[in-house]
């Protein structure tokens, strides 16, 4: 993945409030990408006058992917890029959001403005994380609730 390329593709201008450009890209496994669809899904930070309502590039990209039908197991790697000197690391909210859809071994490449990067696996960025595999199956929860309701 080339960080600067993804910034240009996904974030043609900086956010109007932070002036911080961030681009994120999700690389799909070849087997999960339809032949006519791109293997890379991109996103950019979308800012809002009500600052906390803005959305990071990582969640924009993953939301686009999920709406397109992609799910846990479909993603081979993630790239996050900015035009700053430091490597761009996903914020805590994005780490949790990505964790829902990424295997713990999926690499996340964090680029700086020179296109250099560091890489960490999902599980390294969010150790001891809470994810969908932690929850009991719905059927099990439903049965437990029914037993509670019946006084069992
Ligand atoms: Zn974020």
Residue 32 CA to ligand 1 center (angstroms) comes to: 25
The answer on pLDDT for 149 being more than 60 is: yes
- Mean per-residue pLDDT, 11-23: 82
Residue 89 CA to ligand 1 center (angstroms) comes to: 8
Mark the residues whose beta carbon lies below 5 A from ion ligand 1. Answer: 56, 91, 94
127-147: b (≥16 Cβ within 10 Å) or e: eeeebeeeeeeeeeeeeeeee
pLDDT of res. 15: 82
3-149: CATH architecture: 3-Layer(aba) Sandwich (3.40)
Residue 113 CA to ligand 1 center (angstroms) comes to: 18
pLDDT top residue among 71 and 6: 71
Catalytic residue ranges: 58
pLDDT of res. 20: 87
Domain boundaries, the chain: 3-149
Binding site: residue ranges? 45-51, 56, 91, 94
Pairwise CA distance, residues 77 & 100, whole Å: 14
26-77 tens-digit pLDDT: 999 987 666 666 699 999 999 999 999 999 999 999 999 999 999 999 999 9
- Which range among 20-34, 94-108, 138-152 shows the weakest confidence by mean pLDDT? 20-34
Residue 143 CA to ligand 1 center (angstroms) comes to: 36
The answer on pLDDT for 12 being more than 70 is: no
Binding site for substrate: residue ranges? 45-51
């Amino acid at each position: 993945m080339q960080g600067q390329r993804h910034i240009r593709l996904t974030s043609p201008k900086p956010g109007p409030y932070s002036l911080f450009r961030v681009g994120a890209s999700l690389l799909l496994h070849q087997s999960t990408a339809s032949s006519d669809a791109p293997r890379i899904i991109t996103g950019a930070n979308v800012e809002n006058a009500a600052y906390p309502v803005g959305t990071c590039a990582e969640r924009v990209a993953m939301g686009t992917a999920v709406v397109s039908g992609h799910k846990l197991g479909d993603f081979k790697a993630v790239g996050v890029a900015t035009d700053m000197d430091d490597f761009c690391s996903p914020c805590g909210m994005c780490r949790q959001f990505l964790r829902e859809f990424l295997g713990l071994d999926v690499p996340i490449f964090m680029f700086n403005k020179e296109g250099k990067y560091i890489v960490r696996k999902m599980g390294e960025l969010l150790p001891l994380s809470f994810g969908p595999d932690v929850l009991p199956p719905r059927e099990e929860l439903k049965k437990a609730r029914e037993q509670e309701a019946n006084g069992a």
